[in-house]
Structure 1
Amino acid sequence: EDLGIEEAEFEQAFLNSQQHQAISEEAQLLNNPDELMAFLKNKRKNILENAYIMPHNMREMLRSYLESMSQDFNVGGFFNKKKKKLQIQQQRLLTATDALQEHVNQQIRQPMREDMSFVTRFINKKEASDKVLNQHYDVKPEMIEGLYQPQTSISNTYVLTFSDEVVKAIKKYVEQQSTPIFKEIIENVQADELPTEESDDLKEYQRYTELNELRQSLTTKNYRHYYIHLDESLDKLIGRQETTYQVATDNAQDNRDNQQLNQNTATTNMSIDIQKALDIISDVPLFKRTKQDIHETLTRIDNKLIKIGVFGTFSAGKSSLINALLGEHILVSSPNPTTAATTEISYGDESYITLKSQSQLLDEINAVVEYQDMSYSTIEDFINSDLEKLKSHLNKNQLAFIQAVEKHYKLYVNMLENGEKHAINQQELKKWSAEDEYATFVKTVHIALMHDWLKGKIIVDSLGLHSNNQRHTNETEQILTSSDLILYVSYFNHSFTDNDKAFIEHMKDMNQLNENQAFKMVINAADLAESQDDLEAVETYVSDALRQVHLQSDIFAVSSRNALQAEDKGIDQLKQSIQQFVDVESKSILEQQMIHQLQQMDRSYVEMITEFETNKADISRRQQRLTDYKDKQRLQHQLIDATLQHTDNEVEEQVYHLNARLKLQLLDDVKSVFNSQMTQNSDFNEEKKVSTRVYLDQIHQRLFLEQSLITERIKKYFNKQLTEQIAPIVQQLADLHVIINPQFNFESANIEQPLLHIDFNDMLNALPKQLTKRKILNPNGQRDIHESICQSTLGLLQPQMGLLRQQLELYVKQMAVEAESQFESFEANIQTQINDLLAFDLDTTLINQLKDKHQQLKTILY
């Protein structure tokens, strides 16, 4: 009652209050120059005190430099010894300087940028904002060189003392360089202070939360954990042991109960009738644009096509599961992963195929022949070459692919002349999706069926992440990113393998399992279970495995074979769950946004009523601010510039950490391939080629996944930064009853080409000379070989790392352009609402109407 809200809306109101209070506190700080300077200096002090810029390896580099400077340091040879010594000194100094610069960048520069970036939202001068976001502290060799005091020899004590002096010099340098930036911030910062009543409300929220937590603690008695350590200590002292008898939990039944609970919860959450609420306020002459947005969102929900991605390892039973869901044999999966195509199924009556482009087909040809030391610039060159010699070195699947290109290339070219899209009938489906000699040329099979259950859905049978075919991995990434619902299929006899775990961990790394994407685990071929206990044991195993990767999911044990022959309870439950997601759960995010907009309008009604009846001066002040805002751009381009610079810095950070991760991860791949098992091949040179091919296959998969991860992180980071940049403006507008709900939507990066790729011959030539049969059997020699290969791999990747950075920076610029377009739309919305608010005067008739509408909305929204 004190807060004027219902209990059901407490959590959202509390979050809003916290956000408003944070913005208010920032604004108050920025409007006080002395407090702001003290705040910035304190931030800098904390960063410098916690900066770890002198780890052991850094001290050892300084030791190496100091030793070269000592009087007893000698160089070999008889001539030009002084010049040689000077060269060594300079080389070691530069090595130490570069390493120190890297530590300063990570430990000081990056935290300084991040901790002070919030001020850029309130700086109107672009140059000043850029200085905050681009602050850089250049470590020069002279800073190290000038601290050296001549020594006869270098002791451990002097190395430690010298290292401390270097750290002090850097911190002093950072203070000198950053203080002018602080002064420029203070000169250019400008923030509108928000109302202080919010802080009083926040105290009420916090008090309510504390009392609620106390009540829960007393009810559940979880406060007793404070005393557990005392009981444990007494047990150890007197040797007391507790004997427990535990009744086994029926995990499988628990899982089914949870599935039902999840569905009931989702249904409960959707009990608010948004259309009814919209009808109630339709005749109120306020917030026309917001009401139009809600109406358009409702229309979009009704017309939305839910994309269901079906994933699983090769031969996990994805196609048979889809057939079971459809109730008939539609899909015929290719037994050859080299020629398999992605299949999409939707409601309709026009099926068609999309052919691969010439460049896509050529890339796949070169991927097959790469390890035979071959490469072609055109497909015609490939067709006209000596293919018989090549065929003798290929495996069965690769051979089928090459023979298909050789046999039907002319047919493919003729079809391409009429475009990549070609209609097919039901009888041709098997030909283009499962027969190698035709499926080789197909990128995607689009199947349309007049099947009622498919209405509102599109089902995608993916090819799998962990495939040696790069196109498969690329397409799977795209499906994973764009799917609303993910069905992951695991086969009963080998449920949840390492590949299953790797896929789910990758999916979680991409942060795809967020509020607008769902995941369901399917165990196919459940009819292979010998008993109900056998089935429940597998369900429990999969549930535990999912829990270990921190994923809670509905688990469905199904028999596709039984469903196609007669019926299957598991398939029926899965279909019901999918339909529940399509009808209810998939709409929850957009519906919550609409409910929030309706509640915002209702709160504005209440505020207008209160001001009219108790404080009309506030109405005059608000109208004056609206007049000041009229025809003046509220969403400045500088907000996008600041976001772009933030994200460019994040790109640099992500690429740096990728390098650091690969130093650890590549070593595991090297050890798994280049080991004593290589000696089993009598031709060791041939074995080196085979091992190099296996090694590159492994790391190329990892590298492409890393490329996808970074791209997705950058997209999310840009979105988050832009949302934070405009948050103060959104709050200022909300105080004036201008309601905007900016949801940015950026296109995914179209980086299909694997950028982090190493040529086979380059890697083969980079193998160390000590990679011999004798040395690979020696543990010490093997360790040196592993480290050498790892370093060579990282060296070969550096140009590609630069290319990845360039592509990511281009993507950031692309998002900035999209943001400009979306800003224009938001700005038009803002000005429309301002004009509407200025176009009428509050009178008794309107106030009475608002009171009536508020009472009606209360029964629906809260």
Structure 2
Amino acid sequence: FYTVDYNHVQSELNFKFMKHINDVGIPVVFIINQIDKHQDDELSFSTFKSRVEKSIADWGIKLERTFYVSKFDHPENELEVLSSYLISLDQHRGTIEDYTSRTVEYITEAQLDYIQSEIQEVLEDLGIEEAEFEQAFLNSQQHQAISEEAQLLNNPDELMAFLKNKRKNILENAYIMPHNMREMLRSYLESMSQDFNVGGFFNKKKKKLQIQQQRLLTATDALQEHVNQQIRQPMREDMSFVTRFINKKEASDKVLNQHYDVKPEMIEDLYQPQTSISNTYVLTFSDEVVKAIKKYVEQQSTPIFKEIIENVQADELPTEESDDLKEYQRYTELNELRQSLTTKNYRHYYIHLDESLDKLIGRQETTYQVATDNAQDNRDNQQLNQNTATTNMSIDIQKALDIISDVPLFKRTKQDIHETLTRIDNKLIKIGVFGTFSAGKSSLINALLGEHILVSSPNPTTAATTEISYGDESYITLKSQSQLLDEINAVVEYQDISFSTIEEFINWDLEKLKSHLNKNQLAFIQAVEKHYKLYVNMLENGEKHAINQQELKKWSAEDEYATFVKTVHIALMHDWLKGKIIVDSLGLHSNNQRHTNETEQILTSSDLILYVSYFNHSFTDNDKAFIEHMKDMNQLNENQAFKMVINAADLAESQDDLEAVETYVSDALRQVHLQSDIFAVSSRNALQAEDKGIDQLKQSIQQFVDVESKSILEQQMIHQLQQMDRSYVEMITEFETNKADISRRQQRLTDYKDKQRLQHQLIDATLQHTDNEVEEQVYHLNARLKLQLLDDVKSVFNSQMTQNSDFNEEKKVSTKVYLDQIHQRLFLEQSLITERIKKYFNKQLIEQIAPIVQQLADLHVIVNPQFNFESANIEQPLLHIDFNDMLNALPKQLTKRKILNPNGQRDIHESICQSTLGLLQPQMGLLRQQLELYVKQMAVEAESQFESFEANIQTQINDLLAFDLDTTLINQLKDKHQQLKTILY
């Protein structure tokens, strides 16, 4: 209630204050007091009121009410009306939440305005757009890291202190004596004690010595494994950065291959004779072993440190501190504050405490409430994402390239940008459509195309992958004979049969076999039996065969023919397909190994993933399992995009029903930490008339093809243009202020001329790094499986088995189900590890050459190494257990009686787990060998790409040495810089 004196009603101060209160969002009631001072003979009261109202309107002030009052009688006095108004407000007062939310909103907006202005100021200081921040920050961090490393490496005393401190931290934190390790030492110590006895009457001394040696070796092997994981591996990783600055391969190998061999004597020599072994002595002895190990590591690693210091070379690297780092940190802090305000996370810091308590006491939330605004938020986010993607690509790269085309510098870099632009224009976007069987993938693709093209196979055993692209030549790719034979053997494996050739299968007693097959398997076997000759005749002319539109259903959906097809390639003269290839996948969670393999390949090679879930059973456990696996793959392939599709949305009985499902799916995605656009569509409606959801999905896909898919390459080109522009500025500055730097730079270029900058040693170091990572990945896979396999065992080998009267037959059935489950998991693990190794090799190689790239950048030689390695062609599942081997490995105690007993069941589960891991160990070794071969393959590819980069470097060096900076060129560079500023920054 803002009250003013009659005489001061037109004061600017009053209107300013009320305007401010408006901005805060507080309702204002304007009270003009002492109206008895008004003189009617000077100004009518109505004119006075109209002037007040005009001033209020001019200031843009919003008022709840205006009252004219006085404690004296006056014809215009509204004191009683004001009193009634106050009573009414009191009787209908708003909640405190209205007040607090209004205040918080005002404060939030004010803070956001301030933060945004600060962010803009930081971006202007850095000379970048907000969309470019992440890449620019990474570049700055890399430059800063190299500078800090150079300072450290150029000071031998500091480097030695640094290495020793790293070692000290690793040794202090190494957990090499867990409980199981102490128990192994206890077992050894007990065998050494005077009161330790062995059974039997003869050769007791020899037997005792054998037991002592066996227990000593067991403890030594276990201790070696702990040392490898807790000390050796961290030592290798933490000190590997120095290998980038060592030119002597032998010294580099000592860092990467450092190994601390635990010998039995290190345990044996510490033992002091004891009559019996107490708990105290076990603890004391364990501590002594740990001390001995640490002392041994110090002795062995110090010579390596000295060799590092003798061979490290970092004198050509820049050592200056970057002033921009504080600006980048300032932006990061401001951006976190902005996100906290916009997402309102600042309100929920207490949640983190609750989450910790939940984990501590095992509390779980079981209720579910529909957040009615989530569906709308999701649609808003979709629009925001599209708008953001559109605005981020506002830089005209071609225009910038045209501006600098006549500058006689950086010809190779300009050529690279031109080739990248051409590659973007010709790029074919691969869209993988995934979903569980019968989720509506084929109908969705038909709806996107606007016509019935795909006919989905009702039999997952015979289904084939389908690819659709723009063109006029459709064809099929047949399975190879080995692929078909593998599928036949997979179908009959449970029958304890295996064929070495398809002819052997054809000549078998198939009628007896058919009686044991299910419907889908039977259709597959009958198809092979009926049309094998046709298939062989077709293979004589190759695996690829042209088909017409009328034959599409025959080869894709009819079991008799689809059995022999690996992939159906459909070409359509459909404008919307230009620049796209759509792949209808078969699904990950299939018992057909070929389906899983092909789906995995599609998943890793797709640019955009559409995941289809059916309205009536949206986001099942299989959906969740696939998306979690896809997320793991996406973390390895950052360029992939994902969109969630809810098909058959026309089944919703109301808009509320539809929004509830959208919200459920959105929450489910959030629980697996995946943010995605969600599209509710009706393929049926789209094919009959039209569907808004399909239209939105098509628009979103086109947006991805036209804009988002190009963002990575566009950012690379922008970075190259900015590098050239920065070089222009540096050349101008040096010419005008410090020509001595130009001479020094030219001398260094002369020194670099015709000398290889990217040495093979960089690849060797990367290869060794990655081989160590292979060892680490296989080790952790073993550790994971020890935990994960138990869940699979429990889900299959349980009391449900007793429902079958023939328990031996049930053991066969359960073994087949169990192997199908774990083979799925194992193949996915194999694929993930392979992709991780590929990414790790790429990352290590970029880190190895980073100092060289920095040296060259200081000389205006612009190199942006982007390595492209072929995916590993490991289609065959390496982690595979034979059915009969697993069946024979089942424990003898797996009986009806024991499986019903909780304690007996637990022992059975543990035994099956251990047997499974034992059967997998040879395959683990094979996986490791294949991964090491793949690493060598990437090393060979890296050599070839090094040659290309080296040619680029030498071309740029020759270009820079071929001209002299003069006034004419400097003036040209100034002009180009001014033009580029308006485009790039």
SS at match of 2:634: coil
Residue 29 to residue 249, structure 1, CA distance change in 2 (3 Å) = same
How many Å apart are 1:216 and its aligned residue?
9.0
How many Å apart are 1:511 and its aligned residue?
3.0
Residue 146 to residue 739, structure 1, CA distance change in 2 (3 Å) = same
How many Å apart are 1:519 and its aligned residue?
0.3
How many Å apart are 1:86 and its aligned residue?
1.4
Residue 173 to residue 226, structure 1, CA distance change in 2 (3 Å) = same
Which residue among 157, 179, 182 is the counterpart of 2:280? Answer: 157
**1:28–1:193 Cα contact (<8 Å) kept:** no
How many Å apart are 1:228 and its aligned residue?
11
- In 2, Cα distance between equivalents of 1:3 and 1:532: 48
**1:24–1:193 Cα contact (<8 Å) kept:** no
How many Å apart are 1:838 and its aligned residue?
0.4
How many Å apart are 1:200 and its aligned residue?
3.7
How many Å apart are 1:194 and its aligned residue?
3.3
**2:636–2:839 Cα contact (<8 Å) kept:** no
How many Å apart are 1:195 and its aligned residue?
3.4
Per-residue Cα deviation, 1:189-237 (whole angstroms, up to 9, x for no partner): 1113433444344345546766787899999999899999999999999
- In 1, Cα distance between equivalents of 2:529 and 2:337: 75
- In 2, Cα distance between equivalents of 1:43 and 1:410: 68
| TM-score, normalised by the number of residues in structure 1 | 0.96
Residue 513 to residue 533, structure 1, CA distance change in 2 (3 Å) = farther
Per-residue Cα deviation, 1:3-24 (whole angstroms, up to 9, x for no partner): 6667776665444332211101
Residue 784 to residue 618, structure 1, CA distance change in 2 (3 Å) = same
Q: Which residue of 2 aligns with 1:819?
A: 942
Per-residue Cα deviation, 1:509-554 (whole angstroms, up to 9, x for no partner): 1235754111000000000111110000000000000000000000
**1:17–1:198 Cα contact (<8 Å) kept:** no
**1:599–1:861 Cα contact (<8 Å) kept:** yes
Residue 367 to residue 232, structure 1, CA distance change in 2 (3 Å) = closer
- In 1, Cα distance between equivalents of 2:357 and 2:439: 53
**2:434–2:584 Cα contact (<8 Å) kept:** yes
Equivalent positions of 1:401-440 (< 5 A) are: 401-440=524-563
**1:30–1:36 Cα contact (<8 Å) kept:** yes
- In 1, Cα distance between equivalents of 2:467 and 2:342: 52
Extract unaligned runs of 5+ from structure 1: none
Residue 540 to residue 239, structure 1, CA distance change in 2 (3 Å) = closer
**1:47–1:112 Cα contact (<8 Å) kept:** yes
**2:400–2:980 Cα contact (<8 Å) kept:** yes
**2:634–2:640 Cα contact (<8 Å) kept:** no
**2:636–2:836 Cα contact (<8 Å) kept:** no
- In 1, Cα distance between equivalents of 2:387 and 2:502: 57
**1:147–1:162 Cα contact (<8 Å) kept:** yes
SS at match of 1:198: coil
Q: Which residue of 1 aligns with 2:353?
A: 230
How many Å apart are 1:33 and its aligned residue?
1.2
Residue 710 to residue 220, structure 1, CA distance change in 2 (3 Å) = closer
Moved more, 230-239 or 489-498: 230-239
SS at match of 1:199: coil
- In 2, Cα distance between equivalents of 1:278 and 1:56: 65
- In 2, Cα distance between equivalents of 1:706 and 1:319: 28
**1:513–1:519 Cα contact (<8 Å) kept:** no
SS at match of 2:569: strand
How many Å apart are 1:93 and its aligned residue?
1.0
- In 2, Cα distance between equivalents of 1:26 and 1:295: 35
Per-residue Cα deviation, 1:689-708 (whole angstroms, up to 9, x for no partner): 11111110110000000000
Residue 635 to residue 787, structure 1, CA distance change in 2 (3 Å) = same
Residue 587 to residue 5, structure 1, CA distance change in 2 (3 Å) = closer
- In 1, Cα distance between equivalents of 2:366 and 2:426: 60
How many Å apart are 1:724 and its aligned residue?
0.4
Q: Which residue of 2 aligns with 1:637?
A: 760
Residue 8 to residue 582, structure 1, CA distance change in 2 (3 Å) = closer
**1:20–1:198 Cα contact (<8 Å) kept:** no
- In 2, Cα distance between equivalents of 1:448 and 1:341: 16
- In 1, Cα distance between equivalents of 2:355 and 2:367: 16
| TM-score, normalised by the number of residues in structure 2 | 0.84
**1:539–1:557 Cα contact (<8 Å) kept:** yes
Residue 744 to residue 233, structure 1, CA distance change in 2 (3 Å) = closer
Residue 4 to residue 685, structure 1, CA distance change in 2 (3 Å) = closer
SS at match of 1:770: coil
- In 1, Cα distance between equivalents of 2:314 and 2:361: 65
Count of residues in Structure 1 that have an aligned counterpart in Structure 2: 862
**2:770–2:841 Cα contact (<8 Å) kept:** yes
Extract unaligned runs of 5+ from structure 2: 1-123
Residue 108 to residue 395, structure 1, CA distance change in 2 (3 Å) = same
Moved more, 774-783 or 410-419: 774-783
Asked whether 1:338 is paired with 2:446, we answer no
Moved more, 234-243 or 498-507: 234-243
- In 1, Cα distance between equivalents of 2:782 and 2:356: 46
**2:154–2:314 Cα contact (<8 Å) kept:** yes
Per-residue Cα deviation, 1:453-473 (whole angstroms, up to 9, x for no partner): 000000000000000000000
Indicate the RMSD between aligned Cα atoms, in angstroms. 3.3
- In 2, Cα distance between equivalents of 1:358 and 1:222: 58
- In 2, Cα distance between equivalents of 1:242 and 1:86: 58
Q: Which residue of 1 aligns with 2:328?
A: 205
Per-residue Cα deviation, 1:727-772 (whole angstroms, up to 9, x for no partner): 1111111110000110011000000000000000000111111111
SS at match of 2:125: coil
**1:516–1:589 Cα contact (<8 Å) kept:** yes
**2:861–2:953 Cα contact (<8 Å) kept:** yes
- In 2, Cα distance between equivalents of 1:108 and 1:235: 34
- In 2, Cα distance between equivalents of 1:711 and 1:401: 32
Residue 221 to residue 380, structure 1, CA distance change in 2 (3 Å) = closer
SS at match of 2:609: strand
- In 2, Cα distance between equivalents of 1:816 and 1:426: 45
- In 2, Cα distance between equivalents of 1:36 and 1:240: 49
- In 2, Cα distance between equivalents of 1:78 and 1:846: 100
SS at match of 2:931: helix
Moved more, 194-203 or 617-626: 194-203
- In 2, Cα distance between equivalents of 1:134 and 1:498: 44
Asked whether 1:846 is paired with 2:943, we answer no
How many Å apart are 1:614 and its aligned residue?
0.6
Give the fraction of aligned pairs with identical amino acids, expressed as a percent.
99
- In 1, Cα distance between equivalents of 2:500 and 2:344: 73
- In 2, Cα distance between equivalents of 1:640 and 1:153: 56
Q: Which residue of 1 aligns with 2:959?
A: 836
- In 2, Cα distance between equivalents of 1:490 and 1:778: 40
- In 2, Cα distance between equivalents of 1:807 and 1:583: 39
Moved more, 5-14 or 701-710: 5-14
Moved more, 820-829 or 773-782: 773-782
Residue 195 to residue 577, structure 1, CA distance change in 2 (3 Å) = same
- In 2, Cα distance between equivalents of 1:498 and 1:683: 31
- In 2, Cα distance between equivalents of 1:245 and 1:303: 48
SS at match of 1:516: coil
Per-residue Cα deviation, 1:38-82 (whole angstroms, up to 9, x for no partner): 111111010000000000111011111111111111111222221
Moved more, 81-90 or 55-64: 81-90
**1:507–1:513 Cα contact (<8 Å) kept:** no
How many Å apart are 1:279 and its aligned residue?
0.5
Residue 710 to residue 233, structure 1, CA distance change in 2 (3 Å) = closer
- In 2, Cα distance between equivalents of 1:630 and 1:164: 58
Per-residue Cα deviation, 1:335-365 (whole angstroms, up to 9, x for no partner): 0000000000000000000000010001101
**2:147–2:320 Cα contact (<8 Å) kept:** no
Residue 209 to residue 573, structure 1, CA distance change in 2 (3 Å) = closer
- In 2, Cα distance between equivalents of 1:351 and 1:518: 28
How many Å apart are 1:681 and its aligned residue?
1.0
Residue 342 to residue 831, structure 1, CA distance change in 2 (3 Å) = same
Per-residue Cα deviation, 1:382-403 (whole angstroms, up to 9, x for no partner): 1111111111111110011011
How many Å apart are 1:330 and its aligned residue?
0.3
- In 2, Cα distance between equivalents of 1:379 and 1:562: 46
How many Å apart are 1:90 and its aligned residue?
1.2
Per-residue Cα deviation, 1:291-317 (whole angstroms, up to 9, x for no partner): 000000000000000000000000000
Residue 548 to residue 224, structure 1, CA distance change in 2 (3 Å) = closer
Residue 171 to residue 22, structure 1, CA distance change in 2 (3 Å) = same
For CA contacts below 8 A with separation 6 or more, give which structure has more relative contact order.
1
Residue 83 to residue 105, structure 1, CA distance change in 2 (3 Å) = same
